[in-house]
Chain A
Amino acid sequence: MSRVGWIRLAVIGTAIGLLEISCRLGLIDHRVVIPPSEMVDALLQLLISGQVNDQIARTFGIVTAAVLISVVLGFALGVVIHALPRLRETLDPFFATYYAVPIFIFYPVMIAIFGLSAIPILLMGVATALVAMIIATLNGLDRIPRILTKVARMHQMGRLSTTLRLKLPAAAPHLFTGVKLVVSYSFIAVIASEFILAPAGLGRIISDAYSDFDNRRMYALMLLLIVVATLVNMTLHTLDQRWAARRGLVKS
């Protein structure tokens, strides 16, 4: 690991360490935050007991469904819109402003329409992630160098062949960025929805634990979410950067 990596590890470790010490020494009220070691312990016990496994499965299931729908539908819509420039121009203000709207204001509307089930949660996930995938697809297709079509014609390649062997690989890094965003947004949207109001799911049991003053369970689940979200997002982010670097694309 690089020097920067070690420093980062040290910073995070120190922060957690300070939190642990503050909690143990009673500097931080036990009813507010429990020591990180206790969080880990609570989580392990919870996982071993299998009490919440069905909730975990349910939430991750909804997230996965949202991701799959958003990626496939987003890509398909992106391809269609890209092929119709006039439509794209018309939709441009829509895409530019989409993420300015706090989309959760429509969650209760979704519940009113579809009832309190997994469907409005799934819809929130898709609604949040879909446009990101469309925009990423449009970007990716934009950035296919025009020279590639000329190269394809020089080699007498057919349309399908050109798309699969030249265009898709050329657009792949941007498409992957889209997938990365979809995963992150779906996760955020599903958890937030479950938190606000849901019949079941990880977000729901965290909010229940809060209402029941069950700090151990609450922090255990929060830890689980943080660890999973961080791992997944970091992995995707690293892959994204690595593939982009290989192509010479500078990403932030």
Chain B
Amino acid sequence: MIVIKRATDTLIVFAVMLLVWQALHQFVGDTALPGPVPTLQYLVRFLPTARFAENAWATLVSFFYALILSYAVGLSIGIWMGVHRLSGAVGEPILISLYTLPKITLYPVVLLIFGLSTSGRVAFGAMHGVLPVALLTMNAIRNIPLVYLKSARTLRLSKGQTILTVLLPATIPEVISGFRIGFALTLLGVLLAEMFAAKHGLGFLIINAMQLLQAEEMVTVALVLFVFAIAANALLLVIEHRLHRRV
């Protein structure tokens, strides 16, 4: 029942968004914003092309590496700061400051270090994603109820057993939450990097299309990324809810 209602609500939201899109299109015209139907037609033609495949692949590769970095480094920092109280207390405001900083201001430094290569985009994407992962992991560890640790000692678990069978399951839901936010931010970071200074990638395609007044391509690529982001987020949300249901 709830699932059906949620699905209906989602469809309603999508329908409204499509209507708004169409209305906006009527208002501003083809050169500025093509309507939903021509966009879909373009999408069908564009997706199978080599040009799309190359650029999508470039973005995917950068994103994938950036994501692995975000998760690995974020987890490490988060675990360290969660377990080692002093480091956590010292580092948390620093991480929060970095989180609220417009990291694009640091992008030129990244470019100067890495040049216009993929590594630069990977680094920039990771810079965005590492922070929520670290902060949420740290919080997850800090929020482990003290009584869990006392119980583990009462049940005479070894340190390894405590970490594997108590600490890990207790922190997983929040860590996955961090992964989900990290996913979105890493994607944003990689795309921003591509939009500013790249010759490949979906971000580049959007800016390039705009500059060449190819509105259809611009909107189509944006749509592809939009759908990808939403689908991935929905998947991670399902995982998160599965885990939260029991907690």
Chain A contact residues, CB within 8 Å of chain B: 4, 7-8, 11-12, 31-33, 89-94, 96-97, 99-109, 111-113, 184, 187-188, 191-192, 195-197, 203, 206-207, 209-210, 218, 222, 225-226, 229-230, 233-234, 237, 252
The answer to whether B93 and A234 have CB atoms under 8 Å apart is: yes
Please indicate the chain A residues that have their CB under 8 angstroms from the CB of B81 in the complex. none
Please indicate the chain B residues that have their CB under 8 angstroms from the CB of A90 in the complex. 9, 12-13
Specify the main secondary structure of chain A where it touches its partner: helix
Q: Once the chains are docked, how many angstroms separate the CA of A92 from the CA of B109?
A: 39
Q: Which residue of A11, A96, A101 contacts B90 across the interface (Cβ within 8 Å)? A: A11
Interface magnitude class on chain B: 35 or more
Known: A32-B113, A108-B206. 13 other contacts (CB 8 A): A8-B91, A11-B90, A90-B9, A90-B13, A93-B13, A101-B226, A102-B229, A104-B191, A105-B225, A109-B33, A187-B102, A188-B100, A233-B100
Q: Once the chains are docked, how many angstroms separate the CA of A12 from the CA of B98?
A: 13
Q: Once the chains are docked, how many angstroms separate the CA of A102 from the CA of B6?
A: 23
The answer to whether B230 and A108 have CB atoms under 8 Å apart is: no
Q: Once the chains are docked, how many angstroms separate the CA of A93 from the CA of B241?
A: 14
**One of B72-80, B145-153, B216-224 contacting the partner:** B216-224
* Mask: chain B, 200-236; 1 = CB below 8 Å from A; 0 = not: 0001001101100001001101100110011011100
The answer to whether B207 and A102 have CB atoms under 8 Å apart is: no
Q: Once the chains are docked, how many angstroms separate the CA of A101 from the CA of B233?
A: 9
Task: Flag whether B97 is at the interface (Cβ < 8 A).
Answer: yes
Smallest CB gap from B6: residue in A: A93
Most buried by B among A113, A207, A233: A113
A-B contacts, CB under 8 A, total: 150
Task: Flag whether B111 is at the interface (Cβ < 8 A).
Answer: yes
Smallest CB gap from A115: residue in B: B32
Smallest CB gap from B85: residue in A: A4
Most buried by B among A99, A100, A111, A196: A100
Smallest CB gap from A252: residue in B: B139
Please indicate the chain B residues that have their CB under 8 angstroms from the CB of A188 in the complex. 100-104
Chain B contact residues, CB within 8 Å of chain A: 5-6, 9-10, 12-13, 24, 28, 31-33, 86, 89-91, 93-94, 96-97, 100-109, 111-113, 135, 139, 180-181, 183-184, 187-188, 191-192, 195-196, 203, 206-207, 209-210, 215, 218-219, 221-222, 225-226, 229-230, 232-234, 237
The answer to whether B113 and A102 have CB atoms under 8 Å apart is: no
- A176 CB, min distance to chain B CBs, angstroms: 15
The answer to whether B210 and A12 have CB atoms under 8 Å apart is: no
Q: Once the chains are docked, how many angstroms separate the CA of A99 from the CA of B177?
A: 13
Please indicate the chain B residues that have their CB under 8 angstroms from the CB of A89 in the complex. 5, 9
The answer to whether B192 and A222 have CB atoms under 8 Å apart is: no
Q: Which residue of B24, B105, B233, B237 contacts A226 across the interface (Cβ within 8 Å)? A: B105
The answer to whether A93 and B9 have CB atoms under 8 Å apart is: yes
Most buried by A among B5, B24, B90, B187: B90
Please indicate the chain A residues that have their CB under 8 angstroms from the CB of B91 in the complex. 8
Q: Once the chains are docked, how many angstroms separate the CA of A106 from the CA of B5?
A: 30
Q: Once the chains are docked, how many angstroms separate the CA of A225 from the CA of B107?
A: 13
The answer to whether A230 and B191 have CB atoms under 8 Å apart is: no
Q: Once the chains are docked, how many angstroms separate the CA of A233 from the CA of B237?
A: 29
The answer to whether B207 and A196 have CB atoms under 8 Å apart is: yes
Please indicate the chain B residues that have their CB under 8 angstroms from the CB of A104 in the complex. 188, 191-192, 195
The answer to whether B222 and A191 have CB atoms under 8 Å apart is: no
Q: Once the chains are docked, how many angstroms separate the CA of A33 from the CA of B135?
A: 28
Q: A31-B112, A101-B226, A105-B222 are in contact. Are A4 and B188 (CB under 8 A)?
A: no
Q: Which residue of A106, A192, A197 contacts B104 across the interface (Cβ within 8 Å)? A: A192
- A108 CB, min distance to chain B CBs, angstroms: 4
Please indicate the chain A residues that have their CB under 8 angstroms from the CB of B226 in the complex. 101, 105
The answer to whether B13 and A105 have CB atoms under 8 Å apart is: no
Please indicate the chain A residues that have their CB under 8 angstroms from the CB of B9 in the complex. 89-93
The answer to whether B207 and A197 have CB atoms under 8 Å apart is: yes
6 smallest CB-CB distances across A and B, nearest first, come from A100-B233, A108-B210, A102-B188, A233-B100, A184-B100, A191-B102
Smallest CB gap from B213: residue in A: A112
